[in-house]
Amino acid sequence: MKVTAYLVRHGQTYMNLYNKVQGWIDSPLTKKGLEDADNAGERLKDINFDAAFSSDSGRAIQTAHHILQANNNNINIISYQFPELREQFHGYFEGENLEQMWQFVGEQVKTTSEAGVLKNFGLEKARDLIAKADLYNNAEDNKTFWKRVDRGIDRIRENTKDGDKILIVSHGMTIRSIVDRYNPALDIGEPAKNGSITKLIITDKDIKVEYFNNLGKV
């Protein structure tokens, strides 16, 4: 099986705008966020999708809706919302100031900025550090995160067939984590931008990342 997937990060939300930690909690798209979604739709309007997938977060569902509206052939296709495609869960830190979270988490390794932690320890170790720092032990560690996301990818495989072209709308760190795992050369330390497109080739047992974080023509 070979499925072509266009993986989009949702549009900007109010939590993004206010620099808050946003994983499983949700907030609406801003005016710019709606523009992010519409711009992604414009770049993907010539693709007739066979199915659409998103996380069950409102910001992802709303972004997917705007993208599909750009092509009349995509309006009535089957759309799935899977909780497995959510952003990583930050537990106690959800809704907190992003910089304050990294100061707290980074104290464990004496590196108190997001850029420093990710550069020195990588995405997967950073998840473990967040989980270890969570006072309530609810945040996902790296093993738990990947068990969930891998299950989501398997659910996509179960609901597609060879040759399909699909839309997936997910979240910044989830998208970057997929890129970092399957084509680390493309991860140059920049987060996935709101409305950006990452192209995947999903086979029975593997994922190929063809490009990441594209804000131009696909």
Going by the annotation, the residues of the binding site for substrate are 9-16, 59
Q: Which residue among 10, 66, 90, 171 is the active-site one?
A: 10
What is the rounded distance in angstroms from the CA atom of residue 114 to the CA atom of residue 47? 36
Q: Is 66 a catalytic residue?
A: no
Short-list 169, 167, 189, CA closest to 179: 189
Q: Which residues belong to the annotated binding site?
A: 9-16, 59
Amino acid at 187: D
Give the CA count within 13 Å in the CB-facing half-sphere of 7. 31
Catalytic choice (35, 42, 84, 87)? 87
Backbone angles phi, psi at 103, to 5 degrees: -65, -45
Residue of 140, 93, 136, 123 whose CA lies nearest to 187: 123
> Is 10 noted as a catalytic residue in this protein?
yes
In degrees, rounded to 5, the angle at the alpha carbon of residue 35 between the alpha carbons of residues 32 and 39 is 140
Q: How far apart are CA 131 and CA 124, in angstroms?
A: 11
Q: Which residues form the catalytic set?
A: 10, 87
